Amino acid sequence: YLGIGAPFISVTYSYIHIILLVFGALSITKPGSAELVLMYFLVNIFTILNDIILLGLFQPDANDGIERDGVPSKIKNTYRFALGMIILHLLLKPVICFILYRMYKNRGGDL
């Protein structure tokens, strides 16, 4: 089972990204608000740190448990795909932060 309570990553990962989605949706629906974009930016920075910590803590144990003989290839492939998507998303987050910073400046924000 690789849903919200996936065995290879903490539930914290899912919850913090749900919060990130909420701030993203709010910043889109309120186009004049610089504060919502700033909150989205700050939560995105926090998720970068959170993702690095969670990958460092949980991935080695999950790798030992899933990448061994006797585990069905479907589970291994799902794990590899999910891990790849987590890493790809982590690599794209600095670009997203830059775009959010530009949006914040365009909406009249000042750091």
Burial of residue 33 (number of CB atoms within 10 Å: 0-12, 13-18, 19+): middle
Closest C-alpha among 87, 62, 91, 89 to residue 2: 62
Kindly state the average pLDDT of the residues 65-85: 87
Q: Can you tell me the mean pLDDT for 80-97? A: 92
pLDDT tens digits, residue range 53-69? 988 888 888 888 888 88
* Average of per-residue pLDDT across 21-35: 90
Q: What is the pTM of this model?
A: 0.80
